[in-house]
Amino acid sequence: MAYIIGFVSQKGGVGKSTLARLLAREYTVNGWNVKIADLDPGQGTSFKWQNRRLQSNIEPDIAVERFRTVDKAMPFADHYDLFIFDGPAHSNVGTLAIAQASNLVVLPTGLSVDDMEPAVLLAHELVRQEVSKDKIVFAFCRVGESDAELSESKAYVSEAGYSALAAPLPERTAYRRATDDGKALSECPFPTLKKKADDVAQAIMDRLSALDQRSAAYG
- Render pLDDT for 75-86 as a digit per residue (tens, 0 to 9): 999 999 999 999
Q: Poorest-confidence range of 41-45, 53-57, 136-140?
A: 41-45
Which amino acid makes up residue 109? T
Termini Cα distance of the chain: 16
pLDDT at 93: 76
Domain that holds residue 42: 3-217
DSSP 8-state class, residue 13: S
Number of structural domains (the chain) is 1
Question: 196-210: buried (b, 16+ CB within 10 Å) or exposed (e) per residue?
Answer: bbeebbebbbebbee
Give the CATH number, domain containing residue 82: 3.40.50.300
The mean predicted confidence, pLDDT, of the chain is 94
Does the pTM surpass 0.75? The reply is yes
